């Protein structure tokens, strides 16, 4: 049994008067939504509907990760922008809850004001549900320095009839300068060892509130989705069916969509098949949730369409192959296989379908995924129904129940394998990950098998634990695969916001989260919300996606990635409260699959702003279009292949001179080389300084130093000529010469409005070293420390192909040796990188030995063990 279930029992017996005092956790999405400004006499709930929107962007309140007193962040109020005469404050809940107080509580908070003049007196008013107030006036809010206030509620002057047990808001009427900035942090009500958090809450309170408000958040998201036609009409009709409203209109609309001639087009749609499955299982006559909301006519047509869209792809012979064989792409693959399972479940319980025999052609995977290639002499391609060249048919006949059992076993192994070896090829992708999780959710909610649901529920725990290791306030750092952009929030942040207690999203790619029962375990929620408490640590995890390197490839895999390997990819992140720096290190002889090297994100995120990041990028070739790529309108994109090495706060990366990739027979092998390389820096910095060939930046409490490395060719040639070297040495280095070459002072230029550093040489290695104010109080101290670090370029046989040796800041920093001229393995502290790392997941808070399937999560008193082994303990019980 998971500890999360044990925790729920504790919540049920918790006193309504407060929660035990413990570490307080703030939530980046909730905090600014709690606050608003209002005119005198106007409720602090006047703009609540706008604040609950998923795309809400506060005008006057923002989180500040650099200047804080409690937890990860404070809330900064721009009173000058809002109009300093306005009142401001916060509400008890975004979802209808109240503070159950009495006069024995105190209101505790940290506050600071900055402005051109001192702040004056401030009246703090509690407002109950009837609008009555209890007030206390204090002399002034803290000027320039943080001030801790402990305001006893017994000292508040209450209006007649004011109800302390039913308080809904707290309002500030403050005399502020016209340009005032006000910081607030650690707001809570406290009494004798118990606390009711406002901005910062105990874990127990956060868990209880997430569960208590879930119904309201689901309803709000569906209500909003019902009012919009954006995305797909299917979602609008799904929402109306869920709400039980306008059922006639919803059924008529669905029937019209299902009768369209193109409803069978795009068999690999990432949307339609899962939607049809969910419509049936939620609203058909056989639903256990809302039975009978689909009319018989719509239900019949839905089944016809679902059968036509799935029967050929649902090939039982493919359920007998490796779970690491990925048809088309990773997200398309799990889409097809999840829908094979769920549609089989549906049809095996339908009288008109349960005895139908599937074609089970045995032609291989990825039926109808794009065009077909050459099938062979005397083979009529029109007879292959869009399949491959295999001949796996065994002469037996199989119905829906047979298919269901086959895919059930397959998917149990699928998720166990990913817990054992790692996930995903499209790791943390800004778009593809929400598609993948859509199909994982389909298995979780619609498989009809309790054992599989438990496996997938545990897998969700692991997915979000992995996410939490290297995310700061919803922004994920670390290596990403098939990531389209240089930075910003990824789409799956929408999931985590909801699971942490924020608004739901009922739109096209998120509606399904509103109809599942998944909840985060306490250890994951605590890890996700306490970046400050986690401190600084390394997170290493095994990557996946290396090809099997089998020649010739098995017939039937013409559009399939063969990734059943112990991939030699090591994902590495250095995580701190102020930044995350991360990359993927790859064995030089690794055989990349079609997708394992696509749009990989290497770089650094900053806690203070999602707009601040440092990311390596590929550059457009000047003066011509690039073969194999769409030329980016921005001048740069994420298409580039890297060799990287990282040790804590130091990352060295280079455009790979060589990479071996194996593609499916009917997929393109595009050109991978001959691109310019750059570093996206952007323009969202508190400080930017260029010195001695380095670019230094600061945002909030984090620094970064960037240096492209290139030998000073002109200097070295002049030096060789002056020495009168023999002609035979003009194109080779001599053992009699100096061992090192001079590093060019400025081996870069600025492009794209000074947002991107262009490397002078496309194969120059780049050093990115991160730092914190905790170690270097000022930018100048950080710069001085960087410039004092040992750095050298050693010669090899041929000039220009050099070995970089660098040691970063700090007494414990280890020497990194990076051969920029060939594919030699880098070393850290004299040891070669272990690309076959013995742990699948390895941080102080998440651990698993490679391929064991045994997962340990622990942070403080919260602990959760998951078992994905072949004989899990929960199955034996």
pLDDT tens-digit map of 424-471: 999 999 889 999 999 999 999 999 999 999 999 999 999 999 999 999
pLDDT tens-digit map of 811-863: 999 999 999 999 999 999 999 999 999 999 999 999 999 999 999 999 999 99
Res. 39: pLDDT tops 80: yes
* Mean pLDDT (the chain, rounded): 93
pLDDT tens-digit map of 234-284: 999 999 999 999 999 999 999 999 999 999 999 999 999 999 999 999 999
> According to the model, what pLDDT value does residue 853 have?
98
Q: Which two tokens stand for residue 588?
A: 């030089």
For each of the domains in the chain, give its residue range(s) and CATH number, in order of start.
Answer: 3-208 (2.60.120.430), 595-839 (no CATH)
Res. 90: pLDDT tops 90: yes
| Other beta carbons less than 10 A from residue 598's beta carbon | 21
Q: Average pLDDT in the 98-124 region?
A: 96
**CB neighbours of 152 closer than 8 A, spacing ≥ 6?**
103, 106
Q: Assign 4 a pLDDT band (cuts: 50, 70, 90).
A: very low
Please tell me whether residue 484 adopts helix, strand or coil conformation.
Answer: coil
Q: Average pLDDT in the 537-547 region?
A: 97
Q: Rank 17-26, 324-333, 619-628 by mean pLDDT and report only the highest.
A: 324-333
> According to the model, what pLDDT value does residue 876 have?
65
Q: In this predicted model, which residue has the larger pLDDT, 230 or 48?
A: 48
> According to the model, what pLDDT value does residue 874 have?
60
d(C-alpha 771, C-alpha 698), whole Å = 9
Q: Average pLDDT in the 328-335 region?
A: 97
> According to the model, what pLDDT value does residue 626 have?
44
Res. 21: pLDDT tops 80: no
Q: Which two tokens stand for residue 226?
A: 């019902």
- Percent of the chain whose pLDDT exceeds 90: 86
Res. 723: pLDDT tops 90: no
Res. 633: pLDDT tops 80: no
What phi and psi, each to the nearest 5 degrees, are found at residue 50? -70, -35
pLDDT tens-digit map of 568-624: 999 999 999 999 999 999 999 999 999 998 899 999 999 999 999 999 999 986 544
Describe the crossing of helices 296-310 and 247-258 by its angle, rounded to 10 degrees.
Answer: 30
d(C-alpha 357, C-alpha 311), whole Å = 10
pTM value is: 0.95
Hey, what long-range contacts does 76-83 have (CB within 8 A, 24 or more apart)? Answer: 76/181, 76/182, 76/183, 76/184, 77/35, 77/181, 77/182, 77/183, 77/184, 78/181, 79/115, 79/174, 79/176, 79/180, 79/181, 79/182, 80/115, 80/177, 80/178, 80/179, 80/180, 80/181, 82/37, 83/37
Q: Average pLDDT in the 35-55 region?
A: 96
Among 65-79, 285-299, 718-732, name the one with the lowest average pLDDT. Answer: 718-732
d(C-alpha 385, C-alpha 735), whole Å = 65
Q: Average pLDDT in the 337-358 region?
A: 98
Q: Average pLDDT in the 406-432 region?
A: 96
Q: Which two tokens stand for residue 417?
A: 């394998």
Res. 724: pLDDT tops 90: no
Q: Average pLDDT in the 540-547 region?
A: 97
Say which residue the tokens 């850290």 belong to.
Answer: 828
Q: Assign 5 a pLDDT band (cuts: 50, 70, 90).
A: very low
Describe the crossing of helices 247-258 and 233-243 by its angle, rounded to 10 degrees.
Answer: 150
Q: Which two tokens stand for residue 526?
A: 């605590």
Q: Assign 12 a pLDDT band (cuts: 50, 70, 90).
A: very low
């Amino acid at each position: 049994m998971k500890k999360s279930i044990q925790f729920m029992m504790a919540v049920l017996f918790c006193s309504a008067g407060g929660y035990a005092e413990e570490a307080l956790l703030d939530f980046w999405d909730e905090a600014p939504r709690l606050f608003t400004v209002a005119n005198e006499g106007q409720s602090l709930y006047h703009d609540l509907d706008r604040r609950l929107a998923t795309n809400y962007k506060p005008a006057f309140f923002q989180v500040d990760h650099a200047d804080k007193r409690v937890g990860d962040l404070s809330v900064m109020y721009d009173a000058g922008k809002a109009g300093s005469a306005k009142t401001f404050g916060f509400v008890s809940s975004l979802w209808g809850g109240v503070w159950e107080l009495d006069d024995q509580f105190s209101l505790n908070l940290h506050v600071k004001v900055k402005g051109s003049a001192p702040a004056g007196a401030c009246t703090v008013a509690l407002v109950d549900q009837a609008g009555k107030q209890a007030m206390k006036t204090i002399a002034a809010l803290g000027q320039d320095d943080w001030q801790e206030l402990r305001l006893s509620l017994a000292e508040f002057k209450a209006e007649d009839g004011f109800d302390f047990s039913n308080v809904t808001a707290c309002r500030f009427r403050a005399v502020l300068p016209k340009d005032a900035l006000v910081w607030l942090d650690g707001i809570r009500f406290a009494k004798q060892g118990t606390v009711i958090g406002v901005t910062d809450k105990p874990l127990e309170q956060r868990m209880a509130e997430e569960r208590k408000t879930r119904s309201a958040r689901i309803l709000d998201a569906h209500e909003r989705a019902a009012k919009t036609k954006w995305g797909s009409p299917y979602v609008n009709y799904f929402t109306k069916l869920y709400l039980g409203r306008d059922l006639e209109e919803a059924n008529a609309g669905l029937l019209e969509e299902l009768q369209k001639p193109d409803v069978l087009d795009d068999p690999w749609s990432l949307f339609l098949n899962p939607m049809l499955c969910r419509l049936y299982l939620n609203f058909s006559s056989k639903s256990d949730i809302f039975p009978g909301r689909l009319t018989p006519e719509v239900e019949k047509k839905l089944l016809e369409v679902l059968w036509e869209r799935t029967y050929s792809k649902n090939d039982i012979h493919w359920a007998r192959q490796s779970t690491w064989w990925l048809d088309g792409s990773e997200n398309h693959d799990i889409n097809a296989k999840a829908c094979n399972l769920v549609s089989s479940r549906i049809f095996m319980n339908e009288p008109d379908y349960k005895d139908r025999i599937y074609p089970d052609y045995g032609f291989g995977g990825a039926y109808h995924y794009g065009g077909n290639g050459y099938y062979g002499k005397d083979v009529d391609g029109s007879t292959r129904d869009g399949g491959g060249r295999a001949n796996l048919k065994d002469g037996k006949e199989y119905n829906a129940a047979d298919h269901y059992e086959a895919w059930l076993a397959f998917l149990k192994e699928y998720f166990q394998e990913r817990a054992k070896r790692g996930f995903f090829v499209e790791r943390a992708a800004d778009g593809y990950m929400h598609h993948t999780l859509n199909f994982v959710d389909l298995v979780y909610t619609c498989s009809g098998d309790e054992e599989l649901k438990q496996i997938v529920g545990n897998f969700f725990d692991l997915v979000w634990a992995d996410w939490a290791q290297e995310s700061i306030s919803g922004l994920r750092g670390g290596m990403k695969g098939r990531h389209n952009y240089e930075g910003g929030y990824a789409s799956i942040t929408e999931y985590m916001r909801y699971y942490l207690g924020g608004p739901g999203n009922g739109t096209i790619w998120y509606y399904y989260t509103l109809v599942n029962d998944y909840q985060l375990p306490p250890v994951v929620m605590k890890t996700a919300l306490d970046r400050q408490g986690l401190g600084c640590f390394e997170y290493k995890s095994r990557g996946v996606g290396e090809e099997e390197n089998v020649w010739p490839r098995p017939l039937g895999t013409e559009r399939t990635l063969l990734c059943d390997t112990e991939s030699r990819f090591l994902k590495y992140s250095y995580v701190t409260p102020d930044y995350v720096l991360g990359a993927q290190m790859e064995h030089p002889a690794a055989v990349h699959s079609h997708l394992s090297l696509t749009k990989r994100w290497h770089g650094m995120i900053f806690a203070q702003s999602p707009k601040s990041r440092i990311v390596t990028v590929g550059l457009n070739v000047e003066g011509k279009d690039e073969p194999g790529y769409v030329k980016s309108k921005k001048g740069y994109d994420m298409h580039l292949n890297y060799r990287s090495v990282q040790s804590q706060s130091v990352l060295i990366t280079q455009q790979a001179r060589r990479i071996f990739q194996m593609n499916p027979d009917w997929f393109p092998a595009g050109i991978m080389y001959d691109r310019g390389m750059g570093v996206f820096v952007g323009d969202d910095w508190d400080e930017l300084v260029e010195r001695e060939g380095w670019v230094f930046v600061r945002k909030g409490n984090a620094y970064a130093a960037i240096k492209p490395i290139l030998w000073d060719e002109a200097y070295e040639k002049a030096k060789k000529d002056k020495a009168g070297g023999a002609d035979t040495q003009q194109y080779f280095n001599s053992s009699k010469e100096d061992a090192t070459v001079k590093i060019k002072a400025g081996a870069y230029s600025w492009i794209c409005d000074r947002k991107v550093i262009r490397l002078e040489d496309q194969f120059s290695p780049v050093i990115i070293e991160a730092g914190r104010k905790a170690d270097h109080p000022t930018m100048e101290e950080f710069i001085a420390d960087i410039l004092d670090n040992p750095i050298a370029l050693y010669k090899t046989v041929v000039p220009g192909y050099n070995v970089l040796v660098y040691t970063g800041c700090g007494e414990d920093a280890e020497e990194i040796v990076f051969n920029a001229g060939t594919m030699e393995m880098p070393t850290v502290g004299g040891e070669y990188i272990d690309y076959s790392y013995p742990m699948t997941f390895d941080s102080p808070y998440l651990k698993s030995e490679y391929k064991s399937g045994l997962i340990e999560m622990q942070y403080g008193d919260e602990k959760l063990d998951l078992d994905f082994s072949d004989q899990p303990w929960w199955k034996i019980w």
